[in-house]
Amino acid sequence: MAVELFSEASSRSVTSAQIARRAGVAVATVHNHFGSRPALLAACRAHLESLAPTLESGIFAGQDRLADRLAALVQAVFARHASTAAAMRWATAEAMTVPDLGAYLEGARAERVRLIVQAMAPGFDGSPPASMIALAAALLDFPAWSSLADDLGAPEAEDAVVSALTTLARRR
């Protein structure tokens, strides 16, 4: 219930009373179950994580060519963004003022960078240039996905990013 509320409005503006009302329980139940606001946010993040497509090195299984690895990476990251878009819009907007959200987003970014390096490593003798990693990270970040998906549509956004990364990798 809290996840839906946080997807509809700012996490700072959602009250325990609203969560309790949506869940059909007493406010005290919400407080007793979660104990604190950070614990409630952590539980919401864990719930979203359990529903979202996973991002792990297994996405590269059977992919030997750099272009195929980049396509697998973009597809997996964009699928995750699509599945968490409502909550991520608020999380991105509030990251500067809600430390737990900022830390979560930084951890998610670090995980994407790790996967970017794994995707590109075979095409760059194990060590992709920092500039390529940074460009890929920028193109795979949630705000970039959101803007591209809004402007181009999700499938075209995915194709455009795969094409851009593949082209950049060939120019090395």
pLDDT in tens, 52-73: 888 999 999 999 999 999 999 9
- Token pair of 57 as six digits: 């090195």
- Is the confidence at residue 5, as pLDDT, over 70? no
pLDDT of residue 99: 79
Parent domain of 22: 2-48
Residues 62 and 5: their CA atoms lie apart, in Å, by 40
Q: Are residues 25 and 79 in the same domain?
A: no
Query: What domain count does the chain have?
Result: 2
pLDDT of residue 43: 81
Closest CA to 80 of 64, 110, 116, 56: 56
Q: Are residues 23 and 58 in the same domain?
A: no
Percent of the chain with pLDDT over 90: 50
- Is the confidence at residue 42, as pLDDT, over 80? no
Q: Are residues 71 and 150 in the same domain?
A: yes
Q: What is the pLDDT of residues 125-160, one digit of tens each?
A: 989 999 999 999 999 999 999 999 999 999 999 999
pLDDT band at 35 (very low <50, low <70, confident <90, very high): confident
pLDDT band at 50 (very low <50, low <70, confident <90, very high): confident
Domain end among 32, 48, 64: 48
Q: Are residues 30 and 93 in the same domain?
A: no
Q: Are residues 112 and 164 in the same domain?
A: yes
Q: Are residues 68 and 127 in the same domain?
A: yes
pLDDT of residue 161: 97
Higher-confidence position of 143 and 16: 143
- Residue 95 sits at φ, ψ, to 5 deg, of -60, -35
Residues 77 and 135: their CA atoms lie apart, in Å, by 15
- Is the confidence at residue 15, as pLDDT, over 80? no
Q: Are residues 58 and 40 in the same domain?
A: no
Residues 109 and 10: their CA atoms lie apart, in Å, by 21
